[in-house]
Amino acid sequence: MLFLILFTSLLLGGAYALMAMGLTLQYGVARIMNLSIGETLVGAAFAAFWLQTQAQVGPLWGLLVITPAAFVLNWLIYRHLLTPLVRRAKNRGMLEVDSILATFGLLFILQGVMLALFGGNYYSYSYFSEPVELFGHTFALNRIVAFAVAAAVALALYLGLNRTRTGTAVRAVSVDPVAAGLVAIDVARTSALAFAIGGALTACGGALLSMFLTFNASMGVVFTTKALIIVIMGGVGDPRGAVIAALLLALAETTVATLVDPGLTLAATYGLFVLILLFRPQGIMGRRTA
Amino acid sequence: MLEIRDIAVHYGRHQALDKVALDVAKGEIVVILGANGAGKSTLLKTVAGLQAAVHGSTVTLDDHRLDGLPPHKVVEAGLALVPEGRGVFGELTVAENLAMGAYAQRARGDEARRLAQVLALFPKLAERRGQMVRTMSGGEQQMVAIGRALMSAPDILMLDEPSLGLSPLVCGELFDALEKVRDTGVGILLVEQNARRSLEMADRGYLLENGRIVGQGTAAALRDDENVRRAYLGAASAH
């Protein structure tokens, strides 16, 4: 039973981690608290659904379309919707308030578009749904595939952030945007890049989740909540913290769903969140700020 | 040659700088002396593109206009600032900080050679390349900050209070390093509390009071000036 819970949560946590890394890039680097991140995720799930059912392109191939499309879309959102807010913000607090309001509005626009296109029904599709026997337990192949892809993407992100010049520049902006300008980093451009990568990661997570979860047009807010909880748990701006917190959240959800009642997963999520806020408010990997 | 002309800055109704003009040539150290609040930091920030100046203020570096450019373009033009409080990337390693110093296009071709120079200037950094900068002492962080600025291949290097909070010993090491940097042909514009030590190594100096240049001259002349002695080299001297 323990193994079943651990392994199930690991498989679920992979896609959560992508979304949380997406939000941590958008918030930690571009300083945008993106409340429409759940809609990005659900939008990608619908895109994967549409590609699979209408264009006969499976979600794995679909990722090659969905991820770059999300990158471009998020780049445009940052450039045209959010850059004016960045320019007029006198300080970080003001940008946070403005970006929360702006992306809260964006949430309803994206949700409205999806409701208009797909209605309020629940959707799912069958892909790699054959059972796989692992250590005496049965898992759906699609969950394993989704996890493997999520792990590969997370690893690529980690290497990109730590081993490349551009990736180091992204981290430098996250640490100190003023000092970043003083070493010739174009902070506006790098922030746009981080926001776009964040959106692409989230979309990638959404397409992967759609392989085994049922979704509808108005459930974005559930994922936004999860992403916020993961990022606050993990420590803002640290992708490693986001991964650990994503796995913890998946573990809490799976444990409660398996041992208590599936209806209580959201309660478990909040329970964990409150515990972290009480005992480690700076996050798992975060440090106390002076 | 860095030429600063007619720089004026307002913070609301307060005039922080009023028609400030000064020059820095390559291969010389120029020090700006002034009390707290005289406008020294504002001047360096304005030249670096971090602070907006009043229309009509001009900054030129070898005939390139720098005024109005964002900070990253100022660095790209050959003017680097080590800000007050150092501005190092605390969550990045020493090696990463130095690599980010060479982010400017102008510095990329020559990165390996410059890194060797910086590590020769500050051998301590060579031993600590993998260390997270926030875990280092103030003096070591200042070395990272100066080394990082040098990695951008600057023609002119500006430093805002580099000795602040450092022990006299570390401070001496730092000033020795700055003299070596000058000898490689880089021009240095230095804002310093430690007037005695900075006038010892500087070639020229300016006196800034209430946002205005009220005096200038060779470092030797300033050292002997009665007013300077009273205002900056007396009990007010830090070390």
pLDDT tens digit string along B169-224? 999 999 999 999 999 999 999 999 888 889 999 999 999 999 999 999 999 999 99
> Nearest Cα to A268, choosing from A277, A279, A257, A278?
A257
Residue A201 falls inside a structural domain? yes
| Structural domain harbouring A64 | 1-279
Q: Look at residue A81 and tell me whether its pLDDT is greater than 70.
A: yes
Cβ separation of A179 and B103 shorter than 8 Å?
no
Number of domains in chain A: 1
| A285 inside domain | no
Rg (CA), chain B: 17
Q: Which of B65, B181, B178 is nearest to B114 (CA)?
A: B181
pLDDT above 70: residue A93: yes
Contact A165 B148 (CB under 8 A): no
* CATH 3.40.50.300 matches B2-233: yes
Amino acid letter at A97? V
Contact status, residue B53 vs residue B7, Cβ threshold 8 Å: yes
What tens digit of pLDDT does each residue of B126-139 get?
A: 999 999 999 999 99
Mean of per-residue pLDDT scores for chain B: 93
Question: B57-105 pLDDT, tens per residue?
Answer: 999 999 999 999 999 999 999 999 999 999 999 999 999 999 999 999 9
Q: Place A286 in a pLDDT band, splitting at 50, 70 and 90.
A: low
- Between chains, do B87 and A178 touch, taking CB under 8 Å as contact? yes
Amino acid identity for residue A243 in this structure:
V
- The enclosing H or E element of B181 equals helix B168-183
- Long-range contacts of the stretch A265-273 (C-beta < 8 A, 24+): A266/A222, A269/A225, A269/A226, A269/A229, A270/A229, A272/A229, A272/A233, A272/A248, A273/A229, A273/A232, A273/A233
Residues of chain B in contact with residue A168, where contact means CB-CB under 8 angstroms, are 92, 96, 99-100
Q: pLDDT grade, residue A275 (50/70/90)?
A: confident
Q: Which of B50, B72, B90 sits opposite A186 (nearest CB)?
A: B72
pLDDT for the residue numbered A270: 85
Max alpha carbon distance in chain A (Å)?
59
Q: Is A289 contained in some domain?
A: no
Q: A179–B76: do the CB atoms touch at under 8 Å? A: no
* B46, B7 contact by CB (below 8 A): yes
- Identity of the residue in A179, A186, A187 whose CB atom sits nearest the CB atom of B87: A179
Q: Cα–Cα distance between A200 and A188 in angstroms, integer?
A: 18
Question: CA Rg, chain A, in Å?
Answer: 18
Any idea what DSSP says for residue A235?
-
Retrieve residue A279's tokens: 């005992």
Q: B21 and B47 in contact (C-beta within 8 Å)?
A: no
CATH assignment at residue A111: 1.10.3470
Distance, in Å, from the CA atom of B147 to the CA atom of B98, rounded to the nearest integer, reads: 7
Q: What are the residue ranges spanned by the domains of chain B? A: 2-233
Say yes or no for a CB contact (<8 Å) between B100 and A169. Answer: yes
* Interface confidence (ipTM) of the complex: 0.91
pLDDT over 70 at A288, yes or no: no
pLDDT of A16 reads 92
Minimal Cα–Cα distance from B194 to chain A, Å?
24
Mean pLDDT of B16-28: 95
In the β-sheet with B212-218, what is the strand arrangement from edge to edge?
B79-82, B156-160, B187-191, B29-33, B204-209, B212-218
Q: Is residue A287 part of a domain?
A: no
